[in-house]
Amino acid sequence: MAALETVLDKIDANLESALARLFQLIEIRSVSTDPVFAGDCKAAAEWLAKELTSLGFEASVRPTAGHPMVVAHAKADRPDVPHLLFYGHYDVQPPDPLELWETPPFEPRIADAPTGRQIVGRGVADDKGQLMTFIEAVRAFRESGGLPCKITVLLEGEEETGSPSLPAFLAANKKELEADLALVCDTGMWDRATPAITTMLRGLVLEEVVVQGANRDLHSGIFGGAAQNPIHVLARIIAGLRDGEGRVTLPGFYDGVVELPEEVAEQWRNLAFSEEDFLGSVGLSIPAGEQGRSVLEMVWSRPTCDVNGIIGGYTRKGSKTVLPAQASAKFSFRLVGNQDPAKIAETFRAYVRKILPADCRAEFISHGASRALQLPFSSESLSRASRALRAEWATEPVLAGCGGSIPIVGNFKTDLNMDTLMIGFGLEDDRVHSPNEKYELSSFHKGARSWARVLHALAL
């Protein structure tokens, strides 16, 4: 295995040529949502396959029902090393509105800013700059002697449109894509000086309830007070879902929810995080979740129940004295730990049926469900990656949670039975999906160095 310091020196020496390669990739207009750019998406896949082939990978562009996948395999110098699956995506969001870009979105440039030099261009932070940090680390190993681990690379072109081709592709190529551990780069830093490893993702249950009352809309002056109002029924259902302490009232809802290890909870308490600023930035001031929990706990490691929309009755300008025949609401439950999505959905439906008046009926529509995911805090790969990042950034990495979901990580766990290390170098102000998207030059440079250290640490 190549000496780590030699590899790091090679990354430093390659920085200018690495930027030139990144610029070439950004210049390809791989917008996945617009069929006009289908040829560009294929061109981006071919560019990446060619690049990986030049690094000694057996790389190929694989067709799907949508945009192609890139799959590449490379062996290590030693047989007794981990097999890693690295995932990234080459597709980008549309650059609109074009008039808000300071320079053309597919003409990348280096800009000077108070925080340092920045790379500007569509897709540089999401996800082309991120995935190229890994490829540049691999390049440095190749140019310094050899790879420390066996590596499979999977790059897709539909992440920005919900990865519709990915589940079928994983199922059809399960054996080929099996590995010991997955690596995902589509995440971020805690701040400019502090790296992070995302160790947990909340799961999700999406339910829609349609409450049906009378067989038609009713005049409130004639039927008001005598007939059931589906909006009132929904209001009772919603009001009873949480108690005065902010806890969800569904029976057994907290089954499978575990407390954070104290060392992680202590790290979160010591982070430079202002609850006042977090809520104040959206015009709020009082945390609305479980009392006695910090805001970071609420959004990273605790389950939730939220109403995402209510529809019913007359909602246009002016008034209309009507009792609606039906009303509906959309609910989302964010799950943590070992909460069972199927059990949560059925418990919720039983709760609605129990409250429902005899004169009303309910229709339930599922919009999907997924389990929460968590890399065990006792994981050896987590410990090694943490030490590697600490060595590069001279500070302890944050073991962060994520309030949302990253579907590919769920696919890796359910379809390939793999845990995932989620390490990325994006920042909150990278303007992802917005005009003038940027990626810090330090993120690109130190990101490549960080991946080199992580690969080296995992191989030891």
pLDDT tens per residue across all 460 residues of the chain: 679 999 999 999 999 999 999 999 999 999 999 999 999 999 999 999 999 999 999 999 999 999 999 999 999 988 899 999 999 999 999 999 999 999 999 999 999 999 999 999 999 999 999 999 999 999 999 999 999 999 999 999 999 999 999 999 999 999 999 999 999 999 999 999 999 999 999 999 999 999 999 999 999 999 999 999 999 999 999 999 999 999 999 999 999 999 999 999 999 999 999 999 999 999 999 999 999 999 999 999 999 999 999 999 999 999 999 999 999 999 999 999 999 999 999 999 999 999 999 999 999 999 999 899 999 999 999 999 999 999 999 999 999 999 887 888 989 998 999 999 999 999 999 999 999 999 999 999 999 999 999 999 999 8
For 34, half-sphere exposure in the C-beta direction (CA atoms, 13 angstrom radius) is 11
Residue 122 CA, chain-centre distance (Å), reads: 19
Give the type of residue at 247.
R
pLDDT of the residue at 129: 98
Distances from the Cα of 140 to the Cα of 128, 147, 422, 429, 449, angstroms: 18, 9, 21, 29, 9
Distances from the Cα of 269 to the Cα of 262, 266, 274, 378, 398, angstroms: 10, 5, 11, 20, 11
pLDDT of the residue at 1: 66
| Cα gap 44→361, rounded to integer Å | 52
Are 325 and 219 contacting, i.e. CB atoms less than 8 angstroms apart?
no
- What domains can you pick out in the chain, each with its CATH number? 4-201+372-459 (3.40.630.10), 203-257+303-370 (3.30.70.360)
Beta bridge pairs of residue 398 = 196
DSSP letter, residue 315: -
pTM: 0.89
| Cα gap 158→35, rounded to integer Å | 12
The torsion angles phi and psi of 394, rounded to 5 degrees, stand at 60, 35
CA nearest to 301, candidates 311, 293, 309: 293
Structure tokens at 167: 């589940």
Structure tokens at 328: 């509906």
| Cα gap 397→390, rounded to integer Å | 6
Q: Which residues contact 281 (CB under 8 A, 6 or more apart)?
A: none
Give the type of residue at 32.
S
Are 91 and 190 contacting, i.e. CB atoms less than 8 angstroms apart?
no
Q: CA end-to-end span of the chain, whole Å? A: 10
CA angle 199, 200, 204 (to 5 degrees): 160
* DSSP codes joined into one string, 159-216: GGGT-TTHHHHHHHTHHHH--SEEEE---B-SBTTB-EEEEEE-EEEEEEEEEE-SSS
- Could you tell me the sign of the dihedral formed by the alpha carbons of 395, 400, 405, 407, in that order? positive
Are 322 and 220 contacting, i.e. CB atoms less than 8 angstroms apart?
yes
| Cα gap 71→154, rounded to integer Å | 5
Are 302 and 206 contacting, i.e. CB atoms less than 8 angstroms apart?
no
Which H or E element spans position 448? helix 441-459
